[in-house]
Amino acid sequence: MMACHVRCLADAGYQGLVELHANSQTPRKKSKHRPLTSEQKAANRELARQRIFVEHVIRRLKIFRILSERYRNRRKRFALRFNLIASLYNFQLK
């Protein structure tokens, strides 16, 4: 569970997250009978602008096969391996 002061930006697939974590934001989805208003579309665009940086990092991390597929090794070593891959990514940024 996330701390209540942490702001979580999620994509539309996590619609129920708002009920579990009050400080989370997901884009609005249109329903069959009611399209989104222009204000809701603008809010969705602003949310997407904020999320794109994280999405690009996730894409770069998933280049490593161990993160792009189902992890089938020991669970206690996952954090170490993930941190090593993230360190390689951060080193590449410098």
**Domain positions in the chain:** 33-93
Spell 34-70 as b/e; 16+ CB within 10 A means b: eeeeeeeeeebeebeeeeeeeeeeeeebeebebeeee
Per-residue pLDDT tens digits for 9-62: 888 888 888 888 888 888 998 989 999 999 999 999 999 999 999 899 989 999
Tell me the two tokens of residue 27.
């884009």
Give yes or no for a contact between 9 and 50, defined as CB atoms under 8 angstroms apart: yes
Phi/psi for 2 (5° steps) reads -85, 150
Given the structure tokens 């992890």, which residue do they identify? 71
Given the structure tokens 């891959």, which residue do they identify? 85
- Please choose, from the candidates 48, 54, 41, the residue with its C-alpha nearest in 3D space to the C-alpha of residue 25: 48
Residue 1 has pLDDT above 70, yes or no: no
